[in-house]
Amino acid sequence: MPSKRPKPRLDMPAEDALTPPQRALRDVIASGPRGTFKFSGPFAIWLHAPELGQLAQALGAHCRYKTSLSPRLSELAILTTARLWRAQYEWQAHAPIGARAGLGAKTIRDLKAGRRPKGAAADERVIYDFITELYRKRRVSDRTYRRTVSLLGTTGTVELTGLLGYYALISMTLNVFQAATDAAKPLPFPEP
């Protein structure tokens, strides 16, 4: 039996009712690397707290587009985080992006099912192990740390950790406010 789709808790503010800070947030997002898109997900939610939204979207733009991480490994981290938080909107948004970035269909299916992607590329397994250990234990072992630094370098490991923190914020935001998902697609994860 499919999960009942949660009702969004916040409405998108009407365009003609946007305050100057809300307009500024909308404009900076639309003119940045994300381009013009339908305001939804965390961006629509942040219009209700535009000062926070300005800071969060700037961090997100940096984490997503300006780090040393390849898009493939960034998307692996985003999808692993989305799965761990069962962030419906985030999964729907990033699964196709991950596929375009080079993640294999089996890897994406394994991530969605909460399985370690055994058939994934070696670098993807290193990143997956780092992420799941960090979320599970709130720390990483010396072995996991060394493997990750060997792969990404110190800067890349710091950037990966920042990306995970940002997407945890995104996932919490989406889940608390029950961000609307694509009604034409089934929910990726069962609702509690």
SS (H, E, C) the chain: CCCCCCCCCCCCCCHHHCCHHHHHHHHHHHHCCCCCCCCCHHHHHHCCCHHHHHHHHHHHHHHHHCCCCCHHHHHHHHHHHHHHHCCHHHHHHHHHHHHHHCCCHHHHHHHHHCCCCCCCCHHHHHHHHHHHHHHHHCCCCHHHHHHHHHHHHHHHHHHHHHHHHHHHHHHHHHHHCCCCCCCCCCCCCCCC
Q: What is the distance of C-alpha 153 from the center of its chain? A: 22
Whether the predicted pLDDT of 1 surpasses 60 = no
Residue 70's φ and ψ, nearest 5 degrees, are -70, 155
Domain boundaries, the chain: 17-65, 71-176
pLDDT more than 90, % of the chain: 87
**Mean pLDDT in the chain?**
94
Is CATH 1.10.10.1590 correct for 71-176? no
Whether the predicted pLDDT of 37 surpasses 90 = no
pLDDT band at 46 (very low <50, low <70, confident <90, very high): very high
Q: What is the distance of C-alpha 33 from the center of its chain? A: 16
* Prediction pTM value: 0.94
- Averaged pLDDT, 54-68: 95
pLDDT band at 4 (very low <50, low <70, confident <90, very high): confident
Residue 125, amino acid: R
Whether the predicted pLDDT of 35 surpasses 80 = no
Residue 38: predicted pLDDT: 65
Whether the predicted pLDDT of 122 surpasses 60 = yes
Residue 2: predicted pLDDT: 56
